[in-house]
Amino acid sequence: MDKPKVNIRNKRASHDYEFIETYTAGIVLTGTEIKSIRAGKVSLVDTFCYFHRGELFVKGMNISEYWWGSYNNHDPRRDRKLLLQRKELAKLERKSQEKGLTIIATRLFINDRGLAKLDIALAKGKKEYDKRETLKLKDAKREMDRHLKI
């Protein structure tokens, strides 16, 4: 029996931001957090990353409390440390200092070895007219696909 695949996306991120570079990072979790992730009880809305003393942390990721482990549960909104290679961290910290760039979480998944991973992206915020342009392109592509199927 195959395990259900966990693939939680931050759909709002691609609407609000233009991705420049993407990275895959490990997450430092405690006790019942991995059980809640496997159950799919995670929200990436309003999630961003920041540096503190040379380490990268994710803020705003909501991992719901595990329904079975009520006596030893975790804080759902706590900041969690991300694991990247030292070179990647230095490069990301240097680039995130530029004006208008931020680091956001785009996807949470469990890899083949059963470890929780977070895809993060160095991103630049879109202007309102950029968002409208993206929606127009998406609608045009959908319309072309619809006509090609007929």
Give the pLDDT confidence of 66-87 residue by residue, as tens digits.
Answer: 877 566 777 888 999 999 999 9
In this structure, is residue 2 part of a structural domain? no
In this prediction, residue 3 carries a pLDDT of: 63
Domain that holds residue 124: 7-149
From the list 101, 121, 89, the residue with the least C-alpha distance to 21 is 121
In this structure, is residue 1 part of a structural domain? no
Tokens of 53: 């003393």
In this prediction, residue 5 carries a pLDDT of: 81
In this prediction, residue 1 carries a pLDDT of: 45
- Those residues of the chain that have pLDDT short of 50 are 1
Q: What CATH number does residue 68 fall under? A: 2.40.280.10
In this prediction, residue 71 carries a pLDDT of: 65
In this prediction, residue 2 carries a pLDDT of: 56
The model's pTM: 0.82
**Is 47 buried (19+), middle (13-18) or exposed (0-12) by CB count in 10 A?**
buried
How many independent structural domains does the chain possess?
1
